[in-house]
Structure 1
């Protein structure tokens, strides 16, 4: 397809709490991606940096920050911020530049504070996320707990179902050298961990981490000239916004004033993110070999099964009970270990998801390998209407 771009290289810095600045991690990931691609930094024509607002001014101008750290060589720079979707929007920006005739490196990195994310950049009374933190005291885990409670009430899911997601992802993460948490977990250990936002416990909710991921993307002709005759390709990127009037992003089934006069959208925000990518790529859920989704909480991962079309609404728990989404299952989800094993390094995570698809589609994922993987999808939802999905094929 004319809209495909090749993934020539993928690289990461291990996730953890390393005590260094995000630039250090991003530079390491970029060097790893360049080495994987077999090209030198002077050959790169453009750098797209996924921003981190917690990194101060260097974070706000991440493209230039990473270009400076790698060495000034005249590359074009672009900086992208879209909360959890930053990395995928950086990929989308790079893809557009490549299709216009340029070559790119995409880098995302974060050095996250310990504990709950706090609003960054001072008071923002026009930001609904700042308001819910400051006025309501509702941090992200409070919303994860509400989602979980809704699933229990509407679909009959149980805390035991949620725990199975953590068990599954921890087993995969134990096989991933880049993951922060590499120890298998039992359902009993999940149940014994501290309650954070009832019914979710500490092991149901992802941590905050330092980490970085980078990709070297290029046009198909450039890839062929470099000897990559069958590279992994980015076939679609979706960055759609919610559909009016369903604009209460975190609680989409609570009506707004406009809902009285306007019929709600038949497709929720997260489902529309994945659907748009599938439509662009010309594939359906039945074509997927694997998926990497934003498991901010165990219960939220079950929602993604339904949103990307692996099952009907309310059937997500059944998939995890039957092992469909585990390694060795029909459609493994979060074969990387997911956020359960990595923790969240916000602008890096969506790029890391594509790094995992790249290794899987190359057949180089080691003990996590999904046999015969040919098509993969990533999906995440960020704050303030940001969301993204990326489809990679081989």
Structure 2
């Protein structure tokens, strides 16, 4: 059975700190995606909203919120929440209904309005919430968490602060031509290393900001696409949302160090499993990938994801970076959109924003940042506690 569905349209609201209701951003992106697809709102029979827990009751029922704001049309609705993987899991919900023959046209929308500063748990004591516990009891805020990853790369693979800074330099250059990016300014390695240290070894410019923004995708069945003149559309070939597999159940920190110390081969890490499931579902391998959009909450995390996606061997991401292979024009461009380095986090929207970017890339519409000849693209996102995702698109 084919797992493919057509990406009929994509749309975004520019990222920034606009201070407006998240619904406004989502409606803007949804209308842009509908216009891009040529599909009338009245033909949409399924709406999936990416939940935004910071935006009150309307955020908790985002599917209904967006359907209402666009105008009741009788569509079925669903709402998805999976932290940073929300958009991909919402996309998978829509894809599953289309593949089951229960829907022909689905609209997936994610939008967020974020507070100033780094993300933190909601107020109150929640002793069964691991996220609350790591913040409140351990002081393990997100930047400190990212710093552990960065220090691990340094210790295991010889990564340097200059390598991390070079990731920012690359992504900042990519984002210059992206009209939806919040930060559109070149930076130097010196700029990154001269910015404040937030959590050693990471500087302020190594870490993404929090942003307002939105993204939307219109999916259709392949039959619907053909009947309505969508010739050679970009296709979603796979969506992976796998969880860890026992005994390798350390979600965020791979067991490579202990595996090597014991003299054994490393287990497949959780993040590698996310990518592998997508490849297996699509019948496509990492050697077929032309472009990747990965989850660069920090510069060091981008390097981890390059390896997790199988785009190079473990410990070789810095080699690709230093050779220019991950920049536009290189062997495997990573984050041609500019990534979260240029966008910041708008949590329910960012996995969908990656799909928007890859759709434009595979159509040849990424003006000023186009990856020549791109036919296959992959995304990667990691939410909380097993909410990982990868979307594989092809044309």
Which category describes the TM-score, using the shorter chain as reference length? over 0.9
Instruction: Tell me what 2:261 maps to.
Output: none
Kindly indicate whether the alpha-carbon contact (under 8 Å) linking 1:190 and 1:202 is maintained by their aligned counterparts in 2: yes
TM-score (norm 2): 0.96
1:110 and 1:235 map into 2 onto residues whose CA distance is: 27
Specify the alignment match of 2:39 in structure 1.
39
Distance, in Å, in 2 between the alignment partners of 1:269 and 1:330 is 26
- Aligned partner of 2:378 in structure 1 is 377
Question: Number of matched residues?
Answer: 388
SS at match of 1:28: helix
SS of residue matched to 2:33: helix
Measure, in 2, the Cα distance between the counterparts of 1:211 and 1:241: 28
3-state secondary structure, aligned to 1:391: strand
Point out the more displaced range, 365-374 or 265-274. Answer: 265-274
Query: Partner of 2:98 in structure 1?
Result: 98
Q: Is the 8 A contact 1:144 1:300 kept in 2?
A: yes
Aligned to 1:364: 365
Offset, 1:248: 3.1
Listed one character per residue, the Cα deviations across residues 179-225 of structure 1 (whole Å, up to 9, x for unaligned) are 00000111110010000010000000000000000001000010111
C-alpha deviation, 1:250, in angstroms: 2.9
Unaligned runs of 5+ in 2: 259-263
2:160 aligned residue: 158
Deviation at 1:243, TM superposition (A): 1.7
Contact (CA 8 Å) 1:248, 1:254: kept in 2 or not?
A: no
Gaps of 5+ in 1: 257-262
Displacement after TM superposition at 1:8 (Å): 0.4
* d(CA) in 2 for partners of 1:314, 1:83: 28
Cα pair 2:250 2:270 within 8 Å, conserved: no
* Candidates 175, 184, 187, aligned match of 1:185: 187
Match of 1:203 in 2: 205
**Partner Cα distance (2:121, 2:334) in 1:** 30
Give, in angstroms, the shift of residue 384 of structure 1.
Answer: 1.4
- Secondary structure in structure 2 of the residue aligned to 1:163: helix
| Matched ranges for 1:93-242 at <5 A | 93-101=93-101, 102=103, 103-120=105-122, 122-242=124-244
CA RMSD of aligned residues (A): 1.5
Aligned partner of 1:389 in structure 2 is: 390
Matches within 5 A, 1:296-307: 296-307=297-308
SS at match of 2:83: coil
CA distance in structure 2 between the partners assigned to 1:183 and 1:124 by the alignment: 40
